[in-house]
């Protein structure tokens, strides 16, 4: 469904603040904005969890990142980080794939790394969403396809384009389209990294994204009708 209003578009957005220099007040302001705009989720660094009581609105999901931003962590460390985040209130985990394994074509290793995180969060009470950041701009089309297949086999609920921190760049419509074609309709696709305008967000949705990760949520929503 193509969103027609700001309220509809908000349901696609993970309102994000992952700047390492972000302060507590900035994080709490981001959460309050997310509540006001009724976005899909708010995504913040794990060091800010758990949030103070009363910050989150019932129904708003809390997302955090794991193995971020390099992905070059051991699977055990990613699993432990994800489990701690869930204990601290996270509903959704965005974990960075191990790019070294991707570039080596070690698809079983990629799958096993994701499965370790999946197992860790599945051991906790409640259902948690697992998104895997593929860092699409750093990969060839074939590497991206194989990465998507491996992380879905490992238990990913979403494939995600980018951290927004890699020198290769962020999301592109082409990458989103490849990811959607590869995973089919049963797995989500999150476009993230450099999406700052309404037009860019809508283009990613048209290409197949079901979530948009953005820090420029205010500007994105301002371009839509009420």
Show which residues are catalytic.
94, 160, 190
User: What's the token pair of residue 81?
Assistant: 């980080």
What are the phi and psi torsion angles at 167 (to 5°)?
A: -65, -20
Contacts of 2 (CB under 8 A, 6+ apart): 202, 205, 206
Give CA–CA dist 77/195, Å, rounded.
30
Contacts of 191 (CB under 8 A, 6+ apart): 160, 161, 171, 175, 176, 204, 207, 209, 211, 212, 213
Q: CA-CA distances (angstroms) from residue 48 to 20, 186, 193?
A: 11, 32, 21
């Amino acid at each position: 469904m193509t969103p027609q209003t700001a309220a509809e578009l908000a349901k696609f957005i993970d309102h994000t603040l992952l700047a390492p220099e972000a302060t507590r007040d900035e994080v709490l302001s981001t959460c309050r904005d997310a509540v006001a705009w009724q976005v899909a989720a708010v995504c913040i660094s794990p060091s800010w969890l758990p949030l103070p009581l009363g910050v989150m609105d019932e129904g708003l999901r809390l997302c955090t990142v794991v193995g971020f931003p390099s992905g070059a962590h051991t699977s055990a460390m990613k699993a432990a980080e994800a489990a701690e985040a869930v204990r601290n209130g996270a509903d959704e985990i965005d974990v960075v794939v191990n790019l070294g394994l991707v570039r080596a074509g070690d698809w079983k290793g990629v799958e096993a790394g994701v499965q370790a995180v999946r197992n860790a969060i599945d051991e906790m009470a409640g259902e948690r969403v697992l998104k895997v950041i593929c860092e699409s701009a750093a990969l060839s089309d074939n590497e991206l396809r194989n990465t998507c297949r491996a992380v879905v086999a490992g238990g990913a609920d979403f494939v995600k384009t980018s951290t927004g921190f890699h020198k290769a760049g962020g999301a592109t419509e082409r990458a989103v389209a490849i990811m959607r074609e590869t995973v089919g309709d049963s797995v989500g696709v999150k476009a993230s990294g450099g999406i700052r305008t309404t037009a860019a967000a809508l283009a990613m949705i048209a290409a197949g994204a079901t979530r948009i990760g953005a820090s420029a949520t205010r500007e994105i929503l301002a371009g839509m009708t009420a």
